[in-house]
Amino acid sequence: MFTGIIEEVGKIAAFERGEAGNARVVVECSKVLSGTATGDSIAVNGVCLTALNLTPESFSADLAPETLERTNLGDLQPGSLVNLERPLQLSARLSGHIVQGHVDGTGKVISLEQLGEDNWWLKVEVPEDLDRYIVFKGSIALDGISLTCASIENRVLGVTIIPHTIQHTALIACQAGCRINIETDILAKHLEKLMQRTS
């Protein structure tokens, strides 16, 4: 379980595809390695991965074909920046919102425009099957970042990015056309299923 509060921006050191449609990624980082043991979870761009081959400067993770298909991790290459977060500790404050690290799909970045004083406006085209879970002023995780929906119209999501977020995440590297991971609010999905059962 995560909160969508990014702890560190890591860098992809290596990305190797396997013969079975899988891949292995090596992530350079430091902060998220503190207190992390082999087999622990680390969210990479909002995707819950198992940390392997820990060194003082990096960890590796295996990516299943499903992960590569459903998320933007298959677009990574050496030098790519990624958002990193360790799992929530039970004694910690929930500063963002409940993020499982189970990405629902990817959206297409339409634009990232500066509003002034290092505030930004991010527009993302969301898949049709995810649109119903996104509500005005609701929470959403984009590349693992807990954000608030400021607008949603015709499957275009708009969020304001404050200076702290742009300075401490990999969002600054986003360009029009790139894929971004989307995890919608788990509560909306549970409510939908419950309503289907009672109707």
In this prediction, residues 147-161 reach a mean pLDDT of 97
SS3 138: coil
116 & 175 share domain: yes
130 & 80 share domain: no
pLDDT of residue 35: 94
DSSP bridge pairs for 142: 145, 182
CB 10 within 8 A of CB 47: no
Q: Write down the pTM of the prediction.
A: 0.94
Q: Is 50 a catalytic residue?
A: yes
Q: Is 170 a catalytic residue?
A: no
Residue 79 in domain:
yes
Residue 175 in domain:
yes
Residue 12 in domain:
yes
Residue of 114, 131, 112 lying closest to 122 (CA atoms) = 112
Model confidence band, residue 177 (pLDDT cutoffs 50, 70, 90): very high
- Of 38, 54, 85, the position where a domain reaches its end is 85
Q: Is 41 a catalytic residue?
A: yes
Q: Is 13 a catalytic residue?
A: no
Q: Which domain holds residue 54?
A: 8-85
Q: How far is Cα 156 from Cα 113, in angstroms, rounded to an integer?
A: 15
Q: Which of 38, 55, 64, 92 is catalytic?
A: 64
In the chain, the percentage of residues whose pLDDT exceeds 70 is 99
Sorted by sequence, the CB contacts under 8 Å of residue 194 that are 6+ apart come out as: none
Residue 24 in domain:
yes
Sequential DSSP letters for 172-185: GG--TT-EEEEE--
The number of folded domains in the chain is: 2
Q: Is 148 a catalytic residue?
A: yes
In this prediction, residues 95-124 reach a mean pLDDT of 95
Strand ranges in 70-167 using DSSP code E only, listed in sequence order: 81-85, 105-116, 119-125, 139-142, 145-148, 151-153, 156-161
Q: Which two structure tokens, joined as six digits, stand for 124?
A: 């993302």
Q: How far is Cα 110 from Cα 106, in angstroms, rounded to an integer?
A: 13
Condensed to tens digits (0 to 9), the pLDDT of residues 18-58 reads: 999 999 999 999 999 999 999 999 999 999 999 999 999 99
pLDDT of residue 199: 62
19 & 80 share domain: yes
74 & 139 share domain: no
pLDDT of residue 133: 95
116 & 193 share domain: yes
Q: Which of 38, 92, 102, 150 is catalytic?
A: 102
Q: Is 71 a catalytic residue?
A: no
**Lowest mean per-residue pLDDT among 20-24, 34-38, 170-174, 193-197:** 193-197
CATH number for the domain including 62? 2.40.30.20
Q: Is 95 a catalytic residue?
A: no
Residue 2 in domain:
no
Number of Cβ within 10 Å of residue 79's Cβ equals 10
132 & 191 share domain: yes
Q: Which of 50, 55, 95, 151 is catalytic?
A: 50
Residue 127 in domain:
yes
Rounded to the nearest 5°, which phi and psi values hold at 64?
A: -75, 160
Model confidence band, residue 77 (pLDDT cutoffs 50, 70, 90): very high
Start-to-end Cα distance in the chain: 31
Residue 99 in domain:
no
Residue 46 in domain:
yes
71 & 110 share domain: no
